[in-house]
Amino acid sequence: MYDLLLAKERKIAVIGLGYVGLPIALEFANKFSVVGFDINQERIERMQQSIDPSREISPEDFEGKEICFTSSGDDLRQAHFFVIAVPTPVDAYKVPDLKPLQKASELVGKALKKGDFVVFESTVYPGCTEDDCLPLLEEHSGLKVGQDFKIGYSPERINPGDKNRALPDILKIVSGSDTEALEEIAAVYGSVIRAGVYKAPTIKVAEAAKVIENTQRDLNISLMNELAIIFDRMDIDTQEVIKAAGTKWNFLRFYPGLVGGHCIGVDPYYLLHKSRQLGYDPQVINSGRRINDAMPAFVAKKLVQMLIQKGKNPQSVRVLVMGITFKENVADIRNSKVADLVKELMQYSVHVHIVDPHASPNEVAHEYNLTLVDNPSNRYDAVVVAVAHDEYQELGNDYFTAICQPDAILMDLKGLYPNQNQHLTYWRL
């Protein structure tokens, strides 16, 4: 398959052109002929104009690539090597929502031919590729894995907003349904990944490796969040504690914060779901998730307590929240815990303004029914800096003094401004 793709006698199709799919599609298009598929026609039209709807990739990165963008499932029949990179979210009850993955599997199944390859990149629980997706491929194609086609799993490792680690510079895990599948998939990915590939022995190992990457980070951050809650009651600066503890060579520097996004805040629920299906209720993973999900409520309650201590009625104050994307310097607002923080404050009848130079006002309104303001006003009773966008890094005393009332509160959730003047009451996680 690799040789045929290299000779452009076969095509690669990438299904799902979001933060994961579009970068890998464009990278493949440097060497291969690519069909980029997404169900969102509006997104397709923007990509046809060399515009990344996620605002992660510049127009120049579209140039010189052999790629056709489409929302027509019929165009997938041209391809013989399929990469599925659709979202794997959780629902309102924190249960994995496999519908996008299932629909993508059905779509690819209808385009599948003898000799084809299908590789999944979406983050899932171990066993999902073979137990949930493979049957759909076989059902809709009338073909059998091993006998007629091959499958594999190569977990995405895209880090949105990270300009120092481009896709080709991140080691890629690959796996296959048999030895031939593994070698061919490794060759295809290895041709565009400068950092090389790691061949996992089985698909389940590759799936598990991906899901525990973010579960491990989730747990480490949850420990820091719990410590922040404890130290806050003791009037101890958590950041100073971490700095002091970090003088020991084997201390791991994790920091407290709001854990959102479509990876760390979601992936552990996939592992929890599968584990419970098997009759085991994980204690540590579940506890970490519970702590991190509760942080917006903790921060909101702390701010309201501080306002009341200053003799202010929460119903009469104005609070500015700076940043609503799930992390710094990205436009992605999915699973934003800042949105949860804003809604927690609104439960106390606090009047909240939100600003963010990266987020789309339309997306924020659609996703959370919240409104972004174009520019901050003045005379805020409190400012919550929730996301460490570059635009916020250089702000200081003069800026916050200008937009706040005397003796206002600055809540610095990212620890950006430790040296504030006496005109502000400073608090950080």
CB 382 within 8 A of CB 320: yes
The phi, psi pair for 108, rounded to 5°, reads -70, -35
Residues 190 and 223 in one domain: no
Query: Is 213 part of any domain?
Result: no
pLDDT category of residue 158 using cuts at 50, 70 and 90: confident
On the question of pLDDT at 283 being above 90, the answer is yes
Both tokens assigned to 189: 């990915």
Query: Is 409 part of any domain?
Result: yes
On the question of pLDDT at 215 being above 90, the answer is yes
pLDDT category of residue 407 using cuts at 50, 70 and 90: confident
CB 324 within 8 A of CB 354: yes
pLDDT value at residue 160: 78
| Mean pLDDT, rounded, of the chain | 95
pLDDT value at residue 421: 62
Number of domains in the chain: 2
Residues involved in catalysis: 263
Query: Is 316 part of any domain?
Result: yes
Residues 113 and 189 in one domain: yes
Kindly give the pairing relationship between strand 150-153 and strand 172-176: antiparallel
Residues 148 and 250 in one domain: no
Residues 223 and 136 in one domain: no
Residues 167 and 305 in one domain: no
Query: Is 209 part of any domain?
Result: no
pLDDT value at residue 420: 65
Domain end marker among 166, 201, 236 = 201
Domain range holding 17?
A: 2-201
Residues 419 and 292 in one domain: yes
Query: Is 363 part of any domain?
Result: yes
Residues 42 and 144 in one domain: yes
Residue spans of alpha helices (H) in 162-202? 179-190
17, amino acid identity:
L
Residues 360 and 408 in one domain: yes
Closest Cα to residue 273, out of 88, 84, 86?
A: 88
Query: Is 206 part of any domain?
Result: no
Residues 24 and 154 in one domain: yes
Query: Is 214 part of any domain?
Result: no
Domain end marker among 134, 167, 201 = 201
Residues 163 and 259 in one domain: no
CATH number at residue 12: 3.40.50.720
Residues 188 and 288 in one domain: no
pLDDT category of residue 396 using cuts at 50, 70 and 90: confident
Residues 187 and 229 in one domain: no
Query: Is 399 part of any domain?
Result: yes
Query: What is the pLDDT averaged over residues 116-123?
Result: 97
Domain end marker among 142, 175, 201 = 201
